[in-house]
Amino acid sequence: MPVLLALLSPWGSAGGSCPPRCVCASNILSCSQAVLSSVPTPLPRFTAVLDLSHNNVSRLRADWATGRLAHLHALLLSHNGLSFVSTEAFTHVPHLRHLDLSSNRLRVLEENLFSDLAELEVLLLYNNEISSVDRTAFDNLGRLRKLYLGQNRIARFPLELLRDGSRLPQLALLDLSANRLHNVPVGELQALPAWLRDRLYLHGNPLACNCPLFQLVARGRRRQLSAVMDFQEELRCLLPASSASVGILSLAGQQPLNCSEAQEAVLEAHLGDTVTLSCDTRLRGVRNRHWVTPGGERVLEEGGNGSAALLANGSLQLRALRPEDAGTYACWVAGPLLNETLYVELLVHNFTLHGPHDTLNTAYTTLVGCILSVVLVLIYLYLTPCRCCCCRGTEKPPAPRDDSINSSVLSTTPNHAAGVPGEPARSRSASTTGPGQNGRFKAGGTPQPPPRHGPKAQRKVSDPDSVSSVFSDTPIVV
């Protein structure tokens, strides 16, 4: 039996042995707080999770993994004093999805540093000493969803990597908090995809106060974004010609900037329509005005190009709408004393106004009509009072159903079996069973008086065709 368990266990001779000072469980290898100065070798080839956190691994060379680790999907290297990572360090782990390099001493993200990790989804680099980020550091990360770069020394992040969405197409969270960012290109941020723009964390940076920054944060507050609502106290900026730090949201109507919140409107249209987006600014003596499309393109000159045209009154006209024309359009207005931004959210319905939309309405109307017809039929069948009001003795009544669901539920007279001792006898509608009536009294008729001679018979109240029917208008007879 021990031999059999050893053969079935992944830590048997076929899979490799558990490294010293590590804990191994199934395909998890934990070497946390093991006072290691290098990665233990050899690593079992079936390892899926490798935890090397809280050690002294200061350098991650290309040969840290002697063989290919095809099953490894999580690598944890936080709290190691790591200061160097080779650009070929991840060649042997192509299926890595979670990489934690947080709380180390990394200073530079070199070119193509993570290019071998095409399946990486979460990258943690917070609490390092990173001050420089190469533009190619995140190339080939087509599946990256979350990038944490908070608590570093980054003075400028190359947001052009995110602008067109081609390099990091699935990125949904970017944390740049607690860095050294002085200015952020608000125009480029507005051009980011909505799912990324709404999860961009900028709190804890020494940002320079300006109205576009205020409008960006105020818009996030109106939309109840967690990046703004959870960190309102940390969203601060430095006033011009001053080292005083103030809350970004407190700039509304305050000197010296006297910023105003951006107006936002919602406009709905259909494919192929022509719409005009108004830039109804309150400013007088406008010196400059331009529009920014959801794709980040600026429309500066009157006439414009393609489907977008700037009109003489400052409005933006969009012709022959396409699905990709939907999004948030920003009108930037520069006045003599104040700047203003107006946003228009354009919703483009994926059908033409007189196309499949009408067909859908017709089908919907037909469906509603069918449902109403069925309901009316059911009402007629079950809610019509006394359907056999004109029936007489010439028609054959239905078979006896003493326990039918058509029996009265409103009658207060209890059912009694015939011949119960001590119970006074009650009148029946007929003292004898008429031919062809099966012992039932005629429906809709008037109860007959009791016979003058003979024993009195007991009355059974819950007769299905009695005058005490649930929906009958005839008073209950007892």
Q: Please state the domain extents for the chain.
A: 267-349
Q: What pLDDT does 293 receive?
A: 82
Structure tokens at 259: 């910023």
Q: Identify the sign of the CA torsion 308, 309, 314, 315.
A: negative
Q: Give percent of the chain above pLDDT 70.
A: 67
As a whole number of angstroms, the distance between CA 132 and CA 106 comes to 10
Which one of 220-224, 416-420, 454-458 scores highest in mean pLDDT? 220-224
Q: What pLDDT does 302 receive?
A: 60
Residue 426 in this model has a pLDDT that exceeds 80: no
As a whole number of angstroms, the distance between CA 138 and CA 461 comes to 85
DSSP annotation of 395 reads: S
Q: What is the mean pLDDT of residues 82-93?
A: 94
As a whole number of angstroms, the distance between CA 47 and CA 306 comes to 54
Q: Please determine, looking at this structure, whether the domain spanning 267-349 carries the CATH number 2.60.40.10.
A: yes
Q: What is the mean pLDDT of residues 447-454?
A: 48
Q: What pLDDT does 306 receive?
A: 64
Q: Identify the sign of the CA torsion 355, 360, 361, 366.
A: positive
DSSP codes of every residue in 217-283: HHHHHHTT-HHHHTTTTT-EEEPTT---EEEGGGGBT-TTT-B-PPEEEEEEEETT--EEE------
Parallel/antiparallel/unpaired status of strands 74-76 and 275-277? unpaired
Q: Which residues pair with 339 in a beta bridge?
A: 334
As a whole number of angstroms, the distance between CA 302 and CA 296 comes to 18
Helices (H) and strands (E) in the chain, counts: 7, 24
As a whole number of angstroms, the distance between CA 406 and CA 466 comes to 9
- What are the tens digits of pLDDT across the range 103-136? 999 999 999 999 999 999 999 999 999 999 988 8
As a whole number of angstroms, the distance between CA 280 and CA 276 comes to 12
Q: What pLDDT does 135 receive?
A: 85
Q: What pLDDT does 76 receive?
A: 97
Q: Exposed, middle or buried: residue 463 (CB in 10 Å: 0-12, 13-18, 19+)?
A: buried
- What are the tens digits of pLDDT across the range 200-209? 999 999 999 9
Secondary structure percentages of the chain, helix, strand, coil, to 5: 15, 20, 65
3 state SS of 422 = coil
More confident residue, 296 or 152: 152
Q: What pLDDT does 384 receive?
A: 63
Residue 3 in this model has a pLDDT that exceeds 80: no
- What are the tens digits of pLDDT across the range 247-265? 999 888 777 777 877 666 7
As a whole number of angstroms, the distance between CA 314 and CA 291 comes to 9
Residue 458 in this model has a pLDDT that exceeds 70: no
65, 39 contact by CB (below 8 A): yes
> Cα-Cα-Cα-Cα dihedral of 145, 150, 152, 155, to 10°?
80
Q: Give percent of the chain above pLDDT 90.
A: 31
Q: What is the mean pLDDT of the chain?
A: 75
Beta sheet of 245-247, edge-to-edge order: 207-208, 236-238, 245-247
Q: What pLDDT does 417 receive?
A: 42
Full-model pTM: 0.59
